[in-house]
Amino acid sequence: MADKVKLGFIGCGGIVKSHLKQGLGAFPDVEFVGWCDLRPEAAEERKAEVGGKGTVYTDAAKMLDEAKPDAVYIMLPPFAHGAAEDVVLERKLPFFVEKPVAIDMKTAQKVADAVKKNNLLTSVGYMTRYRQSVQKVRDLLKSQKPVLLHGGWLGAGPKTYDGIGKWWVQKDKSGGQFLEQTTHTIDLARCLFGDVESVFAVAVHGRKERPEFFTIEDASMVQLKFKNGAAGNLYSACCLGTAGGVMLTVFGTAMRASFTGWENTVAIQTAGGEKIDIKGEDNIFALEDRAFIDSVKAEKNVGILADYADGLKATEIACAANESMATGKVIQLA
């Protein structure tokens, strides 16, 4: 591979801006060759943010064939996955995909199967895994049994219904807050406690006056049973008038750890009386982007902490929760 990794982007909205600003934009060993978005103005904006490098496209296959990236960033809303992955998979290119990897299991499973068959390098945007706070708690849990965890994302929801705010509030576009946003906490729960066996979820509706197109839940409470026998409760709300936040509290047989804030700052208390505080990093997108670019250059995983198979599992839990909300049943995972 040449000194610089050539990158193409499919979807050029807000999250790409964050990756460019924090990480990719300053990496000396990447080259921006293609920007694809159904809204060319979004692609033009991202292109301008890297000094006008690369070509704007509205067709992903055309971008891959003309700009010839070494790796692709798939940065699409949940409902838009499937066709983009198909054209990337056809060309057997390594890719980074933002969370959640899909809105349904059929799409995610098809991509996961092709990734496995072709042994492709992938990374999913669960950046929380790269935090020192998470690594520390994960290490501590290795020498004790996980017991309980609870946490989630609580807030007011979008202030305006344009841009991301428009698709986010439509259940058939975002999959709902649990699938789209609390997916970070789902992945963190899996990262710390392991795989999930069953899911039971309750939806809360009708807390506020909403426009007709607002079809997601106002809130939800999701009960997880882990394969190792531990239990978890994950909550989401987008109707609160008071401060909510992002949080996760984890109890092991010899530890309590409380993560707070989007940056997952942690306060740990061990059974031996030790107190450990670790502040969340400011440059988390840079850390996960570095791991992906280094792995593309090495043509093997040299630091990616969440791959497509992890994205599939988080999506499976969220889809099971959606099914449970709709049916009132406990859903057993495969």
The residue whose Cβ lies closest to ligand NAD is 13
Of 23, 34, 77, 252, which one interacts with ligand NAD (CB under 6 A)? 77
Task: Please say which residue, 99 or 129, places its beta carbon nearer to ligand NAD.
Answer: 99
| CB closer to ligand NAD out of 77 and 94 | 77
Which one of residues 56, 71, 72, 76 is an interface residue with ligand NAD (CB under 6 A)?
76
Site for ligand NAD contains 98 (CB under 6 A) = yes
According to the binding rule CB under 6 A, does residue 310 interact with ligand NAD? Answer: no
Stretch of 5-13, 154-162, 213-221, 241-249 contacting ligand NAD, by CB under 6 A: 5-13
Q: Which is nearer to ligand NAD, 80 or 202 (CB)?
A: 80
Name the minimum Å distance from CB 8 to ligand NAD: 11
Phi, psi of 72 (to 5 degrees): -125, 140
Residue number with CB closer to ligand NAD (42 or 199): 42
Closer residue to ligand NAD in complex, CB, 154/230: 154
Stretches 35-43, 105-113, 116-124, 247-255: which one binds ligand NAD (CB under 6 A)? 35-43
Q: What's the min distance (Å) between Cβ of 39 and ligand NAD?
A: 4
Residues numbered 103-132 forming contacts with ligand NAD, rule: CB under 6 A = 125, 127
Interactions with ligand NAD, residue window 153-192 (CB under 6 A): 163-164, 180
Residues of the shown chain interacting with ligand NAD in the complex, contacts defined by CB under 6 A: 10-15, 36-39, 42, 75-78, 80, 84, 98-99, 125, 127, 163-164, 180
